[in-house]
């Protein structure tokens, strides 16, 4: 696997020097300052590449921008409203500019409104560190009692509704505000400026869009952009829903193996692929990560390696971000299947036989605890995760391990 690191740009608390010292081979980044739906110009792309090319002392970094995460799909495209056709044309133009500047792997998602959802951004762990967490009871309390979404209680079973009522009654105003900020952290725009009424209005835009209609809109998007990507030699890879089950009455269409098979078959092209995120998919007990890699391996263009601990059975359920080797997903079995896929590709002569991966999320530990930054992206926590993942990769690649495997 090609070891990469996500970088949010020059303002990121992790510097180019930090990434170089971590020993990563490439960088995952995006032009977050460009509004969704607008064209990414070659000038801005080259500026980001230049940002990565030098260390603090001006010497060459040896690092390059290798994976785009994400080239966002606008809400207009997902809803097929407003300027959606113009946004698709802009998307194609951005792909052209990225290709011209040597970028071939493009991650994106098709989640309506929410990019990700957590109820806690700094949940205290027994060892003194913290992590992000999704608490189903807290989420139901937000949905039913804070957001007061119409018919929200019908989205949960009676046991969850009763517990959510008790949980909300025990919350002071500070926790209510904190919970609202955490949940809306995955919504577009600044979480500080979004009011509860803003959230209601965003959700209302999807009142008439169910899963089948959203899936139809997604196929339309793919039919437009995949031929362009194929012509350019670009690999598109859709990130799964996070978490992989319906929330706030919104449809979810990239949560399960059946979802992936439907979308890959709808536009059957090597350019139409997947970002396999073991953390997002691992929040469902019916997602077999090693099996998914086995069955969809040729179309997996990017990997997010992280782990979550499912706190109870069922779908949906509470979960929290675990140590990379300590959660509910068998990371050894998953990585073993990834390495098998890479061997198959190499035999086939594929130029993309080495799949880019990045250590995703991680727990805040040590110096992370005194440092503010992007939620879910601690420096030390990701370094630990990368070290653990390297250990698995090295062990599985060792001749003794290979002999035992056979």
From the candidates 130, 301, 361, 368, give the one annotated as an active-site residue: 361
The answer to whether residue 238 is catalytic is: no
Cα 342 to Cα 239: distance, rounded to the nearest angstrom: 20
The answer to whether residue 91 is catalytic is: no
The answer to whether residue 277 is catalytic is: yes
Q: Let me know: does 123 contact 84? Beta carbons within 8 Å.
A: no
From the candidates 131, 237, 238, 277, give the one annotated as an active-site residue: 277
From the candidates 87, 304, 320, 324, give the one annotated as an active-site residue: 304
Going by C-alpha positions, the residue among 239, 271, 332, 317 that lies closest to residue 95 is: 271
The answer to whether residue 353 is catalytic is: no
The answer to whether residue 174 is catalytic is: no
From the candidates 217, 239, 301, 324, give the one annotated as an active-site residue: 239
First to last CA, the chain: 21
* Tokens 């032009």 sit on residue: 31
Secondary structure string (H, E, C) spanning the chain: CEEEEECCCCCCCCCHHHHHHHCCCEEEECCCCCCCCCCCCHHHHHHHHHHHHECCCCCECCCCEEEEECCCCCHHHHHCCCCHHHHHHHHHHHHHHHHHCCCCEEEEECCCCCCCCCCEEEEECCCCCEEEEECHHHHHHHHHHHCCCCCHHHHCCHHHHHHHHHHHHHCCHHHHHHHHHHHHHHCCCCCCCCCHHHHHHHHHCCCCCCHHHHHHHHHHHHHHHHHHHHHHCCEEEEECCCCCCCCCCCCCCCCCHHHHHHHHHHCCCCCEEEEEEHHHHCCCCCCCHHHHHHHHHHHEEEEEECCEEECCCCCCCCEEECCCCCCCCCHHHHHHHHHHHHHHHHHHCCCCCCCEEEECCCCECHHHHHCCCCCCCCHHHHHHHHHHHHHHHHHHHCHHHHHHHC
The answer to whether residue 377 is catalytic is: yes
Tokens describing residue 124: 């205290």
Which residues are identified as catalytic? Answer: 239, 277, 304, 360-361, 377
């Amino acid at each position: 696997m090609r070891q990469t690191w996500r970088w949010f740009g020059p303002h990121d608390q992790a510097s180019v020097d930090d990434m170089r010292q971590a020993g990563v081979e490439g960088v995952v980044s995006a032009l977050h300052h460009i509004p969704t739906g607008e064209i990414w110009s070659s000038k801005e792309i080259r500026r980001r590449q230049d940002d990565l090319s030098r260390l603090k002392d001006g010497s060459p970094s040896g690092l390059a921008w290798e994976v785009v995460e994400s080239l966002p799909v606008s809400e207009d495209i997902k809803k097929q409203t407003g300027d959606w056709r113009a946004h698709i044309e802009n998307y194609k133009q951005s792909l052209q500019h990225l290709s011209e500047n040597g970028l071939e792997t493009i991650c994106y998602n098709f989640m309506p409104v929410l990019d990700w959802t957590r109820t806690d951004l700094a949940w205290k762990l027994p060892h003194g560190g913290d992590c992000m967490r999704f608490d189903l009871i807290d989420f139901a309390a937000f949905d039913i009692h804070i957001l007061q979404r119409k018919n929200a209680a019908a989205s949960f079973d009676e046991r969850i509704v009763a517990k959510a009522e008790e949980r909300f009654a025990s919350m002071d105003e500070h926790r209510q505000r904190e919970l609202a900020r955490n949940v809306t952290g995955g919504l577009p725009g600044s979480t500080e400026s979004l009011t509860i009424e803003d959230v209601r209005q965003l959700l209302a835009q999807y009142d008439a869009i169910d899963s089948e209609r959203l899936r139809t809109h997604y196929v339309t998007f793919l039919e437009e952009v995949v031929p362009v990507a194929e012509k350019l030699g670009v690999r598109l890879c859709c990130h799964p829903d996070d978490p992989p089950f319906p929330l706030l009455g919104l449809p979810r269409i990239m949560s399960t193996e059946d979802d992936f098979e439907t979308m890959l078959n709808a536009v059957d092209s090597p350019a139409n692929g997947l970002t396999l995120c073991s953390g997002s998919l691992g929040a469902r007990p019916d997602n077999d990560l090693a099996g998914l890699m086995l069955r969809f391996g040729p179309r997996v263009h990017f990997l997010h390696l992280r782990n979550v601990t499912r706190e109870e059975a069922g779908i949906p359920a509470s979960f929290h971000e675990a140590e990379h080797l300590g959660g509910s997903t068998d990371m050894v079995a998953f990585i073993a299947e990834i390495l098998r896929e890479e061997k198959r590709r190499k035999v086939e002569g594929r130029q993309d036989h080495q799949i880019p991966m990045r250590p995703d999320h991680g727990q805040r530990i040590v110096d992370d605890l005194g440092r503010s930054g992007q939620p879910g992206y601690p420096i030390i926590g990701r370094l630990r995760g990368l070290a653990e993942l390297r250990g698995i990769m090295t062990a599985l690649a060792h001749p003794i391990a290979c002999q035992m495997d056979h």
